[in-house]
């Protein structure tokens, strides 16, 4: 078979074009820092990278959920701390009011302060985080407590639902404390104290002390639970951040360019292109330049 100048020129151009495409691809990788610009570059690696991106997105969402849950628990802890202070003051008033030497008007003065404590406790029960009420169950868009101090009656309009956050695959945490179970016992105890004080009933006042103690324990338990959940979230954050680093590394191995290797490959390919261009032009002179143009 006779090799003509045209055949030699065609073969040379094909090889030069293939090398140029390789140079273009390497240049694109060096510019973008990415090994895969399109799925066709490496379908297997591209599919794996897509999976890693999905995993990273899910991990990021879990971490954001943990942040939101932590903020909620911190707000709950602060509110319960305020409730604890109010109940402890109520106990001091009860002990003071139980003194048999007090005159009726002295007990009425103590009762007035106890009423203020009761009102403040309801305000704690209506604490918010942003626009959400902390102690309303799932009915977070409206205040859970309403009180009528003239009759010492109140209504809880929240529900018994749980506010949860997803913090991992199949893992959820309840962040809310229900106002009816956590704070209503304290309201009941305060009511008993106030009624006893206003009736000048030493026996009732004395009995209210144990009710106040029980209510205080109830709030402290809720506060401890919030703290334990915050610790769990901290541990989950550490684990997920480690996981995210690992996932990012796996994604980088699939998508990112090894710059040292890419620069070396570009230099070698460029040298090959120049050598092929020079050799081809010498082999088929003078017609090669006609083909190139």
Tens digit of pLDDT for each residue in 149-195?
Answer: 999 999 999 999 999 999 999 999 999 999 999 999 999 999 999 99
The pLDDT, as a whole number, for residue 242 is 96
- This prediction has a pTM of 0.76
Cβ count within 10 A of residue 56? 16
Q: Do 282 and 35 meet the contact criterion of CB atoms below 8 Å apart? A: no
The pLDDT, as a whole number, for residue 53 is 86
* Strand-pair category, 145-148 with 153-156: antiparallel
> Encoding tokens for residue 212?
């106040």
Q: Between helices 184-198 and 202-255, what is the axis angle to 10°?
A: 160
Report the alpha-carbon distance of residue 260 to residue 264 in Å, rounded.
6
Most distant CA atoms of the chain, gap in Å? 130
Distances (CA, A) of 41 to 206, 255, 264: 82, 11, 19
3-state secondary structure of 157: coil
Q: What is the DSSP letter of 178?
A: -
DSSP string, 217-268: HHHHHHHHHHHHHHHHHHHHHHHHHHHHHHHHHHHHHHHB--HHHHHHHHHH
Q: pLDDT digit of tens for each residue in the chain (293 aa)?
A: 555 555 555 655 665 565 556 655 555 554 555 656 666 666 777 778 788 889 999 999 999 999 999 999 999 999 999 999 999 999 999 999 999 999 999 999 999 999 999 999 999 999 999 999 999 999 999 999 999 999 999 999 999 999 999 999 999 999 999 999 999 999 999 999 999 999 999 999 999 999 999 999 999 999 999 999 999 999 999 999 999 999 988 877 776 655 445 555 555 555 555 565 665 666 555 554 454 44
Distances (CA, A) of 159 to 83, 145, 146, 184: 20, 11, 14, 13
Tens digit of pLDDT for each residue in 230-254?
Answer: 999 999 999 999 999 999 888 777 7
The residue behind tokens 């009732």 is 204
The pLDDT, as a whole number, for residue 48 is 80
The pLDDT, as a whole number, for residue 121 is 98
The pLDDT, as a whole number, for residue 252 is 75
Domains of the chain: 5-51+258-292 (no CATH), 65-249 (1.20.1330.10)
């Amino acid at each position: 078979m006779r090799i003509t100048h045209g055949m030699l020129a065609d073969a040379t151009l094909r090889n030069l074009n293939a090398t140029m495409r390789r140079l273009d691809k390497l240049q694109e990788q060096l510019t973008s820092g990415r090994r895969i610009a399109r799925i066709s570059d490496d379908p297997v690696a591209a599919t794996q990278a897509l999976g890693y991106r999905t995993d990273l997105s899910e991990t990021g969402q879990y971490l954001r959920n943990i942040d939101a849950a932590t903020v909620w628990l911190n707000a709950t802890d602060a509110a319960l701390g305020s409730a604890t202070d109010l109940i402890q003051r109520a106990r001091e008033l009860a002990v003071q009011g139980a003194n048999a030497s007090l005159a009726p008007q002295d007990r009425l003065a103590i009762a007035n302060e106890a009423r203020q404590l009761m009102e403040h406790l309801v305000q704690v029960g209506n604490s918010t985080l942003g626009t959400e009420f902390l102690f309303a169950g799932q009915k977070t868009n409206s205040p859970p407590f309403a009180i009528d101090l003239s009759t010492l009656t109140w209504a809880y309009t929240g529900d018994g639902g749980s506010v949860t956050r997803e913090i991992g695959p199949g893992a959820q945490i309840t962040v809310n404390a229900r106002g009816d179970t956590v704070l209503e016992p304290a309201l009941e105890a305060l009511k008993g104290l106030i009624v006893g004080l206003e009736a000048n009933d030493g026996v009732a006042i004395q009995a209210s002390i144990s009710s106040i103690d029980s209510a205080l324990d109830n709030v402290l338990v809720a506060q401890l639970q919030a703290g334990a959940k915050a610790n769990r979230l901290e541990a989950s954050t550490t684990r997920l951040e480690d996981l995210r680093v690992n996932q990012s590394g796996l994604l980088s191995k699939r998508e990112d360019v090894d710059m040292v290797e890419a620069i070396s490959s570009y230099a070698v390919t460029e040298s090959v292109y120049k050598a092929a261009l020079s050799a081809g032009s010498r082999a088929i002179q003078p017609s090669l330049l006609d083909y190139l143009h």
